[in-house]
Amino acid sequence: MTLRLGDEAPNFKAMTTEGEIDFHDWAGDSWVVFFSHPADFTPVCTTEVGRVANLSEEFEQRNAKRIVLSVDPVDEHHKWVVDVEETQNTTMDYPIIADEDREIAHLYDMMHPKVDDTATVRSVFIIDPDKKIRVMLTYPAAVGRNFDEILRVLDALQLSDEYDIATPVDWRKGDRVVVKPSIPTEKARERFGDVEELRPYLRLTPDPSAS
């Protein structure tokens, strides 16, 4: 199955370390960061799962739930959690999906046979409260992800949705944002106040959430 931005995130039922879930029901009206790992008891995965647990408050502030998938069974997930908590100095507070038959991995196109036909790649999906896929990222197994970047993308998505703006390169919360080309400059000044016009198509305004 090929997924595209704006598609509805496919629903599924699965067993997790927190019991059986229906994905859409579990997500509720929250944003969701859904990511996959090649396998349990692997070094890069252990650091990533621990990092996401340590960022719990950051995700909560953004109304974002976290859930991770691995192709190993639940009993192995529970054993692995002990290692994650001990080595990463954290407490696991979000579920790990067991996907032994790889049905969910195939549903979300997490299997890339030219890389590995038995393990998932490092996929990330950011899903909004309407269950629409807003971001898709794919990393090879050997490269750990930067979850500070995923938080940054969440901030940008939520700001854009609320204020109808765009964010420039390397944007961080509080930085100036971009006025969309569809908004005339005078209307932008009525809406946002201060607008700097570098070019007719390139206009910057202060972060509207900071006012």
Give the full edge-to-edge strand order of the sheet including 13-16: 19-22, 13-16, 96-98, 64-70, 31-36, 122-127, 133-139
CA distance 193 to 208: 9
Distances (CA, A) of 114 to 111, 140, 144, 171, 188: 9, 11, 19, 34, 48
Q: So which residues are the catalytic ones?
A: 45
The shares of helix, strand and coil residues in the chain, as percent rounded to the nearest 5, are 35, 25, 40
